[in-house]
Amino acid sequence: MPQLLSVFRAARLVGVSRSSLQRKIHDEGIETFEGKITVDDLLALFPRTTLEHDSEYDRVQYIKQHAFAKRVREHLLPDVDVLAGRVAELGRELASTRAHLAQYQTILEQITTHLRETEDAPTQKEVHGLLHWINGTLAEPPMPSDPRRDLFANDTVLRIMAAHIKIQPSNHEYWLEGNDSILEAGVHSGLALNYGCTSGNCGLCKARVISGEVKKIQHHDYVLSEAEKNMNYVLMCSCTAVSDVVLEALEASGENDIPTQEVITKVKSIDQPTDDMLIMHVQTPRMQRLRFLAGQSVTLSLKDKSSGDFSVASCPCDDRNLLFHIPNKPDNSFAQALRENTKKGDDVTVVGPHGHFLFNEESRRPQIYLAYGAGFAPIKSLIEHAMALEIPASMDLFWAVEKEQDLYINNLCRAWHDALEDFDYHPIVNQNAVKRLLEHQPELEKVDIYIAGPKAAVEHAGEQLLAAGLPNEQLIATTTQD
Ligand code: FES
């Protein structure tokens, strides 16, 4: 029976992203067994299995954390009780493995004794040969650099440092590291888990533990009924995982699954990367974050009552830090109020989310993103969300602007291109973006295309792409402020 590892765990062990491993498995024609790969196949694909610091996994994590303006999370050890629980679990496995080894040793000794007793039998030569082979094999020292041993050593360390969480019925998977709650780790991994307060009051993050051990890490006022406790219900915001855990939990699958919220946020910064663009970073209170789906927008209101609808330009995986790209045009009164009357620490009321410019998570087709000007904001949110989920599809970003400086965060796109496999960036200055897109990908039936930008540009591009053969359901479009 070959030893099997889930693709999710295997990717982490060899230091690549899950999407890279899935692509490699596909390209090399390797057979998987219900989402699992054999250890031998994994070692054939990655003969060197050490977790190096410059591994692709680390690079992608770095890009995610820094490029998303996300809080840089320390690599914390889990707390003492959690560590003790994980070590105890490994100890139980070690004891069981030792018991099995002792049993095999006894069986081997009995076979050897039995063979010795029959050495004078007619098949003496074969028996002697077999005995010689057994003794020789047992006397051989283990290979000094057995890649399997390195792989299993990595796996042991991983199991102490992180817990593997699987959510049902979606089968989404993620790692929980340090002292994160099950909810926090899931949201940071890009999952749209159900939650409200994040502080144990609302009960919306209730989930049922199917297997594994969890531990309460914060007091919660919400009271689980006796029946719920007996059915292993827990609050994901108030528990961490001691061992690998399988949970039954609700996840939003569309805009109707997320309620409208009103959150008073604080301005962290207002930057002006170019004359025509302002980037505002606001932060929600720790206990009242904004739940939204990548690509959605909200209504922002400033203290002088100026308001406007803007796409969130950041990933839902960082639900406290929200970014907005505000076109800085003379006729944009919101931009003017932001520039002239708003400073760090001021309140900004956020109401939302709304909109259905959403990522098609089920699709495995290559993704093409076409942003016109400030339409880059919702596109950025979608791309970061796809990265957080490690969607195994290639991505092409076409960003069309009138002049070079309108590519107001060109460096970010270049950083994505440099850091990620299968991510291509095509800045387009004062050219026909659809023509460039079609030259690059003429087979439109094979791709999903996301378009965002001013109404006229989006509608025109959509018509051209549909006429060129893009199936209607593979066109996802939204309009943004010019
Ligand atoms: S999110 Fe409110 S109780 Fe967990």
Predicted pLDDT of residue 70: 42
Q: Could you state, in order of their start, the residue ranges of all structural domains in the chain?
A: 4-61, 80-156, 159-254, 256-354, 367-479
Strand partners, 479: 453
Predicted pLDDT of residue 448: 97
Predicted pLDDT of residue 60: 58
What's the number of CA atoms in the CB half-sphere (13 Å) around residue 297?
Answer: 21
Distant-in-sequence, close-in-space partners of 350: CB < 8 Å, separation ≥ 6: 261, 262, 263, 264, 265, 282, 284, 290, 298, 299, 300, 322
Q: For the residues of 356-408, what is the DSSP string, one character each? A: -----TT--S-EEEEEEGGGHHHHHHHHHHHHHHT-SS-EEEEEEESSGGG-T
Q: Whose CA is nearest to atom 1 of ligand 1?
A: 198
Predicted pLDDT of residue 120: 63
* Residue 204 Cβ contacting ligand 1 at under 6 Å: yes
Q: In degrees to the nearest 10, what's the CA dihedral of 309, 376, 382, 63?
A: -120
Predicted pLDDT of residue 325: 96
Predicted pLDDT of residue 436: 96
Two structure tokens written together for 38: 């054999």
Residue 343 sits at φ, ψ, to 5 deg, of -140, 170
Two structure tokens written together for 77: 């050890």
Centre of ligand 1 from the C-alpha of residue 246, in Å? 19
* Residue 186 Cβ contacting ligand 1 at under 6 Å: no
215, containing H or E segment:
strand 214-216
Centre of ligand 1 from the C-alpha of residue 25, in Å? 39
Which of 169, 193, 168 lies closest to 181, judged by CA? 193
* Residue 174 Cβ contacting ligand 1 at under 6 Å: no
* Residue 198 Cβ contacting ligand 1 at under 6 Å: yes
Predicted pLDDT of residue 50: 47
Most informative mutation of 184, 193, 199 for ligand 1 (most atoms within 8 A of CB) = 199
Which residues of the chain carry a pLDDT beneath 70? 1-2, 48-76, 119-123, 141-146
Centre of ligand 1 from the C-alpha of residue 159, in Å? 27
Atom number in ligand 1 closest to CA 203: 3
Q: In degrees to the nearest 10, what's the CA dihedral of 11, 17, 23, 25?
A: -10
* Residue 187 Cβ contacting ligand 1 at under 6 Å: no
Atom number in ligand 1 closest to CA 196: 1
Distances (CA, A) of 436 to 408, 440, 452, 461, 474: 21, 6, 16, 12, 19
Two structure tokens written together for 469: 């053969």
Predicted pLDDT of residue 142: 63
CATH number attached to the domain at 159-254: 3.10.20.30
Strand partners, 473: none
Is domain 367-479 annotated with CATH 3.40.50.300? Answer: no
User: Is the full-model pTM beyond 0.75?
Assistant: yes
Predicted pLDDT of residue 121: 62
> Distance between the two ends of the chain, CA-based, in angstroms?
61
Predicted pLDDT of residue 28: 85
Please state the separation of Cα 238 from the chain's center in Å: 21
Strand 172-177 with 162-168, pairing: antiparallel
Most informative mutation of 187, 204, 228, 287 for ligand 1 (most atoms within 8 A of CB) = 204
Predicted pLDDT of residue 64: 57
The radius of gyration of the chain from alpha carbons, rounded to an integer in Å, stands at 27
Which of 256, 281, 282 lies closest to 271, judged by CA? 281
Predicted pLDDT of residue 434: 96
Predicted pLDDT of residue 1: 52
CATH number attached to the domain at 256-354: 2.40.30.10
Predicted pLDDT of residue 241: 94
Strand partners, 173: 166
User: How many Cβ atoms are within 10 Å of 227's Cβ, its own excluded?
Assistant: 8
